Amino acid sequence: MTADILILSNGPGEVTTWVRPVVRQLRQQLGDDRNKIRISVVLSPCPNSSGKEADIAKSYPEVDRVQSAEHFWQFLLWGKTFENWDWYKRGVVVFLGGDQFFPVVIGKRLEYRTVVYAEWDARWYSMIDRFGVMKPTVAERVPKKFAHKFSVVGDLMQEAQGLEAGGAGEAGGAGGAGEQRSQCVAGVPPVVAPGVSRGENSSNPPTQHSQPSTELIGVLPGSKPSKLMQGVPLTLAIAEYVHSKRPQTQFVIPVAPTLDLQTLAKFADPKKNSFVQTFGFSGASLIVPELVPEIGTHSERPFLKTGTGLCVELWTQTPAYDLLSQCCLCLTTVGANTAELGALAIPMIVLLPTQQLDAMRSWDGLPGLLANLPLVGSGFAKMINWLVLRRLGLLAWPNIWAQEMVVPELVGKLQSQEVGEMVLDFLAHPEKLAEIRSKLQSIRGEPGAAQKLATLVEEELGN
């Protein structure tokens, strides 16, 4: 039997956390003979796109063909890819991000069966062949006559965590990271990944030979300028305050794959970002260790060094699930970061500073488009953010999923000392972190989703 499996996806989160474990599992179940089973990835436009999604998908050895988002509409409307791909007679369209209407159109045109992974909501169930849902509540909202199309597969994001931890998507792989988290939450310093800075108040940069005897806090200020403008100086000022009170605390920034180090450092420079002084932060400079010719690599990781001498390492390996799993707490902005941290069951404090209402312009959908319009965008941004501030919480994804305040959201004219005291309280009372972690673990679905979803695809190939 020859068949094509066409994966539809869109943004960076979906490509790394959904597509990767699914294509690996498909190869394990369907074999690696490319003359029999081809796996193609077609990307659709996404407001959070980095422009590197196609390159990420091409890096997966299980994938045979990839088309970038810029050519999507031509494919959707006319059925032709940019490189004029041929298609086998038999195949399955697998939805892993985008609009659930896309597999309806493409499946009909190619005369392929359709399988949709539905995390929180299922649509077009009369025209889709099978659904793999994260939790039973998704299927409960569907008319009974379509119930036979639905199977609970679990949480694909947990599969991605397992791959990063070396577990190839199995529950055991994610469990190792969970053990490191439990050590930190219990008050025992985690095993810090090689090269994480010690944050010492000295002129000496961090080295790989430092003994990992401290607690680790992850800093995720975002990836878009509208978030970085306030997020970088605020989080670094918080890090300085916490470190001054609790010197054993380390900080690390998992740098978004769409962001280069020089751009990130610009937002910590008072000469290039006026918000640095707004948050009472003295600024930070980028230190990039020189290349060692003998081994052809850097001897140490790059880091930001603040005015007080605090060294905050910049972690550029992505996805950074293994590193994040060693953090006892993370400081993050709203957005996809909160979903990934929630899936990893990592306690977090979600920050939404509003020192300048029109600075926050990275909302998804129509609000984001209005806020970024030329000339009038600033006015729309102020109005949208004012309306958001009137909303009673539930801005972080874990809180939206649970419909309650699982992780704290701090919204307003935030200052480093205020947030720093909350961080210190969490670190001094690890039972509070343990409670948050437990709630986060209960929100998401069960592991094993990639294998179950691949089985649905295999069954549809047989139809």
Q: What is the pLDDT of residue 183?
A: 33
Residue 118 to residue 136: CA distance in whole angstroms: 11
Contact 42, 7 (CB under 8 A): yes
Distance CA 230, CA 422 (A): 19
Q: What pLDDT is stored for residue 388 in this prediction? A: 56
Q: What is the pLDDT of residues 56-92, one digit of tens each?
A: 999 999 999 999 999 999 999 998 999 999 999 999 9
CA distance 157 to 449: 9
What is the DSSP code string of 231-266? HHHHHHHHHHHHHHH-TTEEEEEE--TT--HHHHHH
In this predicted structure, the answer to whether residue 238 has a pLDDT above a threshold of 80 is yes
Buried b (16+ CB within 10 A) or exposed e, 361-379: bbbeeebbebbbeeeeebe
The predicted structure's pLDDT at residue 391:
53
**pLDDT at position 378:** 57
Of 156 and 302, the structure prediction assigns the larger pLDDT to 302
pLDDT band at 240 (very low <50, low <70, confident <90, very high): very high
Predicted pLDDT at 156: 84
pLDDT in tens, 92-133: 999 999 999 999 999 999 999 999 999 888 999 999 999 999
Return the top range by mean pLDDT from 251-265, 361-375, 420-434: 420-434
User: pLDDT-based confidence at 381, cuts 50/70/90?
Assistant: low
* Alpha carbon distance 238, 451 (integer Å): 42
**Residue 309 banded pLDDT, cuts 50, 70, 90:** very high
pLDDT of residue 292: 47
Determine which of 41-50, 333-342, 392-401, 420-429 has the lowest per-residue pLDDT on average. Answer: 392-401
Report pLDDT for 174: 30
If you average pLDDT over residues 167-193, what whole number do you get? Answer: 34
pLDDT band at 387 (very low <50, low <70, confident <90, very high): low
| All domains in the chain, ordered by first residue | 3-154+448-461 (3.40.50.2000), 171-443 (3.40.50.2000)
Distance CA 2, CA 90 (A): 7
pLDDT of residue 456: 96
Query: What is the pLDDT at residue 161?
Result: 60
Least confident of 120-124, 164-168, 248-252: 164-168
Instruction: Give the residue-averaged pLDDT of 226-232.
Output: 88
Q: 262 or 213: which carries more pLDDT confidence?
A: 262
% of the chain beyond a pLDDT of 70:
76
- What DSSP assignment string belongs to 83-98? T-----SSEEEEE-SS
Of 423, 432, 371, residue with least CA distance to 243: 423
pLDDT of 367 over the 90 cut = no
pLDDT higher than threshold 60 for residue 392: no
